[in-house]
Structure 1
């Protein structure tokens, strides 16, 4: 595996951090960046000039992870040439099929199944129901195919997110990268570190990822009551107090972040499904909790690996970044201390993370977690 990494600051050309772009023939090129930077019409041609044969995937972020640093307002680039393995990329737009579950099924069915080991998703994050999208993949999945990835971000603005494959970044795109090869080892894991507090309430009215009522009372009113003065800063302040959603006693609770609120309807739209009958609690975390959780996630991803990772894609949540503030890089440094310094590290801060719980096969949508996908040939 050969890897080249570069960064681009505002109005500056790409600066190569490691590797040589001219030695990579048809690499997978992951370009993560601030939404405003990705709106620059010249960016695609600039990347194409660096990697003429590259398969270029864009995704907007709430912060860029590259090497051991976290950047803001920049563009990060990681180009990977696999020496023994191959990949196939498929993309769809949410406007193609008006059902996120069916959209997930349709995308997976486009992939040749022989030799397919893992799919990594980079999805638009402002309108898609992430858990429904994953559910579609899970229903169509065969042969223990792994699934991980993340929802694109837009800092804490929640205005619009962008993604694309081999064209300028645009709204509504879902990019799926399928990896093939016997020698390819891919593991993924996640962990959050958030602690529930306050009373547990029952979801008494919801539809998909829209939450209407808790204990037969308007959910938004109750949430604002707990937030106090911070309610004026919604939906941004909701990132500091996500919801723990326990669907049944046999499964791990899922963490859900509020993406938007509707004052007129008194509802909250979350990044994934919140089914009626599920139990909900508010959550909170400290900086130390988040750093420790990043270490746990890395340890889970490293469990039972046969080879040291050569590439690590880190997807962390914008809510974690807001809590950590000036100490954000500590969780990235903690991950590197566990996975080793050999791996090229890239990734971004997201509106949702995708990975299985440790010891399980089925992928889930998470919020407020550190999620790792580790590759080696």
Structure 2
């Protein structure tokens, strides 16, 4: 397996590290909105890598090596000696199509030797929970499913995904990895602290939360946020919710980030489902715990042997909270995975991975999620 990486910035243009030995099996890229036009990114990568499969998305920030970068395009081209890759894409018209789209996309790639799926989805027009459920319904349980939702900084206006064509909104793409020579690792952890009492979700519909303990959810949330409520929905990235089924022991929680609010309905819109009857608690960030969570994710994903590509999908909320300290979470991942790992990633609107405690693949928010890919 070989890996070649490159980065584009307005100051330096394209800079290349590593060297591919032949035609790549796959080219992945993550691009800040407003950098290069989508058509130019694809044209440049076609010129460099011929007709190899090319898949990418917009971001809330880019990762290459042990650095967090803004306003760039980061690329990894990888070539396998024995393993193979296939890609597929589908378009979403609205949230209601999320599960069917996931099932159709995974069905397109299901087949003998499938080891893993890496999913990139539009981040604003999808119900991530339903998308993941659809994917899982179409592949055997031993297939590892990871990935993330495309980002648009902290704007939540428009995200885009490309799959052998220029990036566009409403797209979901998947990469299928095939072959016994592959070693796939994965890990996903958060590091946020819960505060306040647990509250019951008394009215919701899919990913829209209307009531907590019988009270309008937005009213209660604003009361907790105080002055921070003036910055909604952007400030909600700093105060996500943890949810879990009532009566279930701690450890199986998933974190949900608000991606929009409805002042008239006094409701909050999340990146994934918030089922009625579940318990919810507010969360806030702790710098040291967030960095530790990234390290734990790297430890879980470090099963790969020898040189590997480490794909990091971290939540935009972590980036906004940690500010100048955000590089620390990437540095600890680099330290744990070691010098044989080539790192690349992006800041997302949602992370897809098996849960760190339950092992069930789910949509996560506010986590550092890592997928490692190597060839034995």
Tell me the TM-score normalized by structure 2.
0.95
Structure 1 portions without partners, runs of 5+: none
Residue 294 of structure 1 contacts residue 335 of structure 1 at CA under 8 Å; is this kept in 2? yes
Distance verdict in 2 for CA 1:96–1:213, change over 3 Å: closer
Q: 2:224 aligns with which of 226, 230, 255?
A: 226
Q: Say which SS state the counterpart of residue 220 (structure 1) adopts.
A: helix
Alignment partner, residue 92 of structure 1: 90
Cα shift at 1:376: 1.2
Contact 1:38 1:60 in 2 (8 A): no
Residue 130 of structure 2 aligns with which residue? 132
Q: Distance in 1 between matches of 2:174 and 2:205?
A: 27
- What's the counterpart of residue 282 of structure 1? 282
1:28-59 CA distance string (max 9 Å, x none): 11110111125453222122111112211121
Q: Which secondary structure does the structure 1 equivalent of 2:275 belong to?
A: coil
Secondary structure of the structure 2 residue equivalent to 1:328? helix
Query: Which position in structure 2 is the counterpart of 1:165?
Result: 163
**1:27–1:53 CA contact under 8 A, matched in 2:** no
SS in 1 for 2:5: strand
Q: Which is worse superposed, 160-169 or 134-143? A: 134-143
* Distance in 2 of aligned mates of 1:20 and 1:113: 31
Q: Equivalent residue of 2:13, what SS?
A: coil
- Which segments of 5 or more consecutive residues in structure 2 lack a partner in the other structure? none
How many residue pairs were aligned?
Answer: 373
Aligned partners of 1:95, 1:267: CA distance in 2, in Å?
A: 23
In structure 1, what is the equivalent of residue 5 of structure 2?
Answer: 5
Counterpart selection for 1:142 from 140, 143, 152 = 140
Structure 2 Cα separation of the partners of residues 49 and 243 of structure 1: 45
Structure 2 counterparts to residues 240-251 of structure 1, below 5 A: 240-248=238-246, 249=248
How far the C-alpha of 1:97 sits from its partner, in A, is 9.0
CA-to-aligned-CA distance 1:313-353 (integer Å, 9 cap, x gap) = 00000011111100111111101111111111001010001
Aligned CA distance change for structure 1 residues 210 and 14 (closer, same or farther; 3 Å) = same
Residue matched to 1:66: 64
CA distance in 2, matches of 1:97, 1:329: 34
For residue 99 of structure 1, report the CA deviation from its aligned partner.
2.1
Root-mean-square deviation (CA, aligned residues, Å) is 1.6
Secondary structure at 1:35 match in 2: coil
Alignment partners' CA distance in 1, 2:110 and 2:274 = 33
In structure 1, the partner of 2:260 is 260
The change in CA–CA distance for 1:177 and 1:321 in structure 2 (over 3 A counts) is: same
* Change in 2 beyond 3 A, CA 1:94/1:11: farther
Preserved CA contact (<8 Å) 2:95 2:125: no
| Mean Cα deviation higher: 52-61 or 157-166 | 52-61
User: Which runs of structure 2 are paired with 1:202-217 in the superposition (5 Å)?
Assistant: 202-217=200-215
- TM-score, normalised via structure 1 length: 0.95
Mapped to 2, the partners of 1:312 and 1:166 lie a distance apart of: 22
- Distance of 2:85 and 2:362 partners within structure 1: 23
Pairing partner for 2:172 from 164, 171, 174 = 174
- Residue 345 of structure 2: aligned partner: 347
Q: Distance in 2 between matches of 1:14 and 1:306?
A: 29
Q: Distance in 2 between matches of 1:97 and 1:260?
A: 14
Report the Cα offset of residue 113 of structure 1: 1.5
CA contact 1:97–1:103 (8 Å) conserved in 2: no
* 1:19 maps to 2:22: no
SS across alignment from 2:39? coil
